[in-house]
């Protein structure tokens, strides 16, 4: 048992650690008409849904622009998307309720 632990320790201590490398590309900021609070993406990554103070902004990633918005009557702090991507669930830190908004692209 001791021999196995000693061998394992020797293997771990002799393993060399490699530095992580990352490539960073400069990008531009996305200018919005509403202050963002939360963001989620569609499963395929083509759409970003940005929760603002007054609306949910629909952002097309390929077009790099806001293509639509859904006005909100209350302030929310978090946004979730249903697995079938047809319903938003919104929560607020100040309320014990969940708002449900069904939507469809037409």
CA–CA distance, 62 with 79 (Å, rounded to integer): 22
Q: What is the pLDDT of residues 18-30, one digit of tens each?
A: 677 888 887 778 8
This prediction's pTM: 0.73
- Whether the CB-CB separation of 47 and 60 falls below 8 Å is answered with yes
Q: What is the pLDDT of residues 3-17, one digit of tens each?
A: 665 555 666 665 556
CA distances from 65 to 33, 50, 72, 74, 103 (A): 12, 12, 20, 25, 20
pLDDT at 26: 76
Matching residue, tokens 């201590």: 13
Q: What is the pLDDT of residues 77-88, one digit of tens each?
A: 999 999 999 999
């Amino acid at each position: 048992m001791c021999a196995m632990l000693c061998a394992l320790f020797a293997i771990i201590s002799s393993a060399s650690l490699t530095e992580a490398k990352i490539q960073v590309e400069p990008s531009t900021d996305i200018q919005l008409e509403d202050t963002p609070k939360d963001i989620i993406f569609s499963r395929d990554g083509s759409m970003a849904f940005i929760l603002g103070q007054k609306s949910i902004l629909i952002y097309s990633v390929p077009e790099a622009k806001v293509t639509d918005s859904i006005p909100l009557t209350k302030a929310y702090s978090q946004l979730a998307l249903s697995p079938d991507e047809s319903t938003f669930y919104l929560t607020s830190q100040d309320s014990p309720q969940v708002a449900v908004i069904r939507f469809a692209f037409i």
